[in-house]
Amino acid sequence: MKVMPDPNRREVIYEVDDYVYLKLQPYRQTTITFRSFLKITPRFYGLYEVSARVGPLAYKLEFPINSQIHDVFHISLPKPKLESVTPVSSTLPSVSDNSTVMPQPKFILNNHLIRKGNYCPKTEILVQWKEAPHSKG
């Protein structure tokens, strides 16, 4: 009975501060990301940081504040991140396809909530853009 399942098992041990991808059911956990077409969504989400080892087969992960799922998962659901993780700065301006800096918003004029069934609502924001500096030449 033990010989048949053993070749498919893998010994995985995560350390605290390791980054992992997480396998989620797209129909159930919609608070992590909102997708329009749930059947073709990716099965792994992340990167999430391992914050603690709860037991021999469970790990606790760090999630965004607004996520509404439990933060402890069985060892079979996380998938290790193999490359080194470089922190991403959110303060850099956005760049277009031709490597020019995109305009930054000047004022937020209006915002409203869009709901599609029982899924995570999305917010649409109406902004007034700053005028782009014109080059003289």
Per residue in 57-101, pLDDT (tens digit) is: 899 999 887 777 788 988 888 888 877 655 554 454 556 666 666
**C-alpha span between 105 and 127 (Å, rounded):** 6
Burial of 61 (0-12, 13-18, 19+ CB in 10 A): buried
Indicate the domain borders of the chain. Answer: 14-80
Instruction: Give the HSE-up count for residue 43: Cα atoms under 13 Å, Cβ half-sphere.
Output: 4
Closest Cα partner for 113 from 24, 34, 44? 34
Q: What is the pLDDT of residue 125?
A: 82
Mean pLDDT computed over every residue of the chain: 75
Q: What is the pLDDT of residue 27?
A: 59
* Cβ–Cβ < 8 Å for 4, 40: no
Higher-pLDDT residue of 107, 85: 107
- pTM value? 0.51
Q: What is the pLDDT of residue 137?
A: 46
Q: Which of 32-36, 37-41, 123-127 has the lowest mean pLDDT?
A: 32-36
Q: What is the pLDDT of residue 58?
A: 92
Q: What is the pLDDT of residue 82?
A: 75
